[in-house]
Structure 1
Amino acid sequence: MIHRHLPPDSPAYRFYLPHVVMVTAEALAVARRLGLDENQLQFIEEAGMLHDIGVVAVLGDQPGLSWRLPYICHGHEGRKILEAEGLPRHALVAERHTGVGITAEQIRQRRLPLPERDLVPDSIEEKIISYADLFFSKSPAKLWRRETVDEIRDELAEFGADQVKVFEDWHKQFGEGE
């Protein structure tokens, strides 16, 4: 399915695939530490590989990386793609994985071009994938590097102490004692 939406020769593929593979591996490691069952592990593997599929809808058509929609829209666009593919649970992961989630209030206050509703991870699988995603950037300069807990805290602090608090809670639940 990834290749149907994001061909291997497309400009985005070179950052998409490494990113989702690393996020998925991290999420599966967390899930195994927590003792999740095989069905949950399979879902995390599938949803982890698809969580950023919405980049295809926000990328422009120009060579290199240009944008036709603001990047913040990639989660919601991913939901549309995955729902059309008949994957409603996977679609929720795509829509809710940005940072530690975005509330309707934050969408209103920041005037974000998103549906005005809570886009916050709810299930344990959604939270694990979102947590794992925080450690790996799609930025070419950081693509192959795992971010530190302190770097994640600093990045989230730009969006408010409440965002850092969610991460801290997740880190206590999902981290390896870093």
Structure 2
Amino acid sequence: MTGYIPTLEQIDELHRKIAPSKAAYELVHTHCVIVATIGCQIVRRQNALFTRRCTLPKDAEVPPTAGVTGGHVPPRLLDEHLVLIGGLLHDIGTYRVFKHDGSDGEPLKFSKKRYILHGLKGYEYLLDEGVDESIAQFCRNHTGVGLTREDVVRQELPLPPADYVPMNLEQEVVMYADKFHSKSVPPKFLQVEAYTARAERFGGENKQRWLDLVAKYGVPDIPALAEKYGMRMI
């Protein structure tokens, strides 16, 4: 470990330090809170499946855990606190890809051309702030359902050719949880079917990666979350 693991208070400070406006902070930080919430729900489900793997018949159905249904038994217990931290920081780089950042009162709008850079921007920002690499990777490795070097080259993305994919289960959970909520203005929740349609736009292989994640981690109770946060759902 070469950096520090931020506390919840330090995470909020990291957001406020880089946010160009109150409106930008509220949009991005709220999204991160929601993704962290979904991620922790998924971890509880995974850990419930893991701890009950030896006590239930192989074909037995485990009741929903933290609102999450389905999912496969993981190879180990997952670190919920790590997912919480990663979820709260994963999109911190989006502050640096606004086209209109709200600083002069204009409506928020992301730059479509530069948005793909937000993961790398967040990764670099956290490293510059002394945050440990293991945490900064949550920013770098959460875009889409994982960007491979081949994806970057084939799609001619404005990123250094490299793999931008989760390095462990916790990073993968945050990447997956992120797909259920959008920072569109106004923000909204997405159900499995809605993101399936988005994933399919990038090809059948991309769609299958998404469906594999759904099977692996189960389905959160998105209607309940949309109601809790008073946001629309598609």
| 2:105 matches 1:41 | no
Pair 1:5 & 2:15 matched:
no
Distance 2:189 2:184 in 1: 12
Which amino acid is the alignment partner of residue 214 of structure 2?
H
Larger RCO of the pair (alpha carbons < 8 Å, separation 6+): 2
Out of 152, 161, 170, the position equivalent to 1:116 is 161
Change (3 A) 1:139 1:117: same
Distance in 1 separating the partners of 2:138 and 2:109? 25
The Cα of 1:84 is off from its aligned counterpart by 1.6
- Which structure shows the bigger proportion of residues in strand conformation? 2
Partner residue of 1:174? Answer: 217
Deviation at 1:177, TM superposition (A): 8.5
Rounded to whole Å, the distance in 1 between the matches of 2:220 and 2:17 is: 39
Q: Determine if the alignment matches structure 1 residue 73 to structure 2 residue 117.
A: yes
1:100·1:121 contact (CA, 8 Å) conserved in 2?
no
Preserved CA contact (<8 Å) 1:103 1:118: yes
Partner Cα distance (1:59, 1:140) in 2: 12
Measure, in 1, the Cα distance between the counterparts of 2:212 and 2:167. Answer: 14
The amino acid that maps onto 1:14 is E
**Could you report, residue by residue, the CA deviation over 1:12-34 in whole angstroms, capped at 9, with x for unpaired residues?**
12311221111110000000111
Q: C-alpha root-mean-square deviation of aligned residues, in Å?
A: 2.0
Larger Rg: 2
Distance in 1 separating the partners of 2:164 and 2:196: 20
Give the aligned residue type for 1:25. Answer: T
Q: Structure 1: how far apart are the matches of 2:110 and 2:208?
A: 31
Q: CA 1:146 to 1:66, structure 2 compared with 1: closer, same or farther past 3 Å?
A: closer
Q: TM-score, normalised by structure 2?
A: 0.68
SS in 2 for 1:112: coil
How far did 1:82 drift?
A: 1.3
1:16 aligned residue: 28
Residues 97 and 120 in structure 1, CA contact (< 8 A), matched pair in contact too: yes
Contact 2:148 2:165 survives alignment (8 Å): yes
1:28–1:6: structure 2 CA closer, same or farther, 3 Å change rule? same
Q: How does 1:84-103 map to 2 (within 5 A)?
A: 84-85=128-129, 86-103=131-148
How far is the alpha carbon of 1:50 from its aligned partner? 0.5
What are the ranges of 5 or more consecutive residues in structure 1 without an aligned counterpart?
Answer: none
Alpha-carbon shift at residue 139 of structure 1 (Å) = 0.2
Counterpart amino acid of 2:80?
L
C-alpha deviation, 1:66, in angstroms: 5.0
* Stretch deviating more after TM superposition (24-33 or 157-166): 157-166
Partner SS state of residue 181, structure 2: coil
Q: Which amino acid aligns with 1:70?
A: R
- Greater helix share, structure number: 1
